[in-house]
Amino acid sequence: MTLIFQGSMVALITPFKDNKIDEPSLRHLVDWQIQSGTDCIIPCGTTGEAPTISDEDHERIITIVVEQAAKRIPVLAGAGSNSTEKAIKLAKQSKKAGAEGTLQVTPYYNKPTQEGLYQHFKAIASAVDFPLVLYNVPGRTSVNLETATTLRLSKIDNIVGVKEASGRLEQVAGILAGVDSNFGVYSGEDAQNAQIYMLGGNGTISVTANVAPQLVAKVWDFFAAGDKKKALSEQEHLQALNKVMFIETNPIPVKTALALMGKCQEEFRLPLCAMNEKNKEELKRVMKDYGL
């Protein structure tokens, strides 16, 4: 079975101008990503500043991205919440806006048990007949979606994959060993993309692809073509850029980088704010090394 979502996928920033969605910049970013070899676009995730986006902005952002993508590549809409009721609402909104699926983060702050996580995702999947990708990022949510829970959830028909940002390769390997071929496992850690592909992963949902979409896509494309040596070499070449993208809290460095590239305003919604000047100089230095 061909996966709906696979390959080099970008966790897209949300460009703002005067505290409003910068629609021309957003449309340009979508076109640039597609032209650069990106296989799927994910708006309204962590990198898209989802926690400070209103429900109205959420719907508008996804509508813009879907319109601009125009079925050239799929759109996987970030729609997670620590409230199951709100996550269902956002998933329905994403489906209505025309996305091909929804990315659902583990509930943050309220620290549910593994059974609570299972019931949360099951409830969303039951309420919205729509592909759902789980998103495990314990560094932000304070809860790890354990391997056994992911495997249990993978048996639900419209739960079609997981973005693994735990940083635990043994956990990724355990998931891959236990799921069917129609369930996607995606890297959520840019530094581990090639390693996860080698384990059997089906792609990445990448921060770095915002600024270097062609380079991130090359790692996947070489791997998919069977050239593991070149995939590993390209991954190694990218590691300094991957590292600097997290020199401060994501998406501060990546959005600052795009602003330096002239692709958006250097504007965040509080409590995110402008970069420390020393870190910004380091970001510029690394970007110059990559010709960005």
C-alpha 176/C-alpha 172 separation (Å) is: 6
- Taken in order 171, 176, 177, 183, the sign of the CA dihedral is positive
Calpha distance 66→74 (Å, rounded): 8
Say which DSSP state 282 is in.
Answer: H
290 has catalytic annotation: no
Select which of 95, 118, 135, 186 is catalytic: 135
Which residues lie closer than 8 Å to 165 by C-beta, 6 or more apart?
Answer: 135, 136, 137, 138, 139, 188, 189
**Is 135 one of the annotated active-site residues of the chain?**
yes
Q: Report how far residue 252's alpha carbon sits from residue 157's, in angstroms, rounded to the nearest whole number.
A: 36
Return all residues near 280 (Cβ < 8 A) that are at least 6 apart.
256
Nearest to 101 by CA among 152, 150, 66: 66
Which of 95, 118, 163, 218 is an active site residue? 163
Assess contact for 64 and 28: CB atoms under 8 A: no
State the catalytic residues: 135, 163
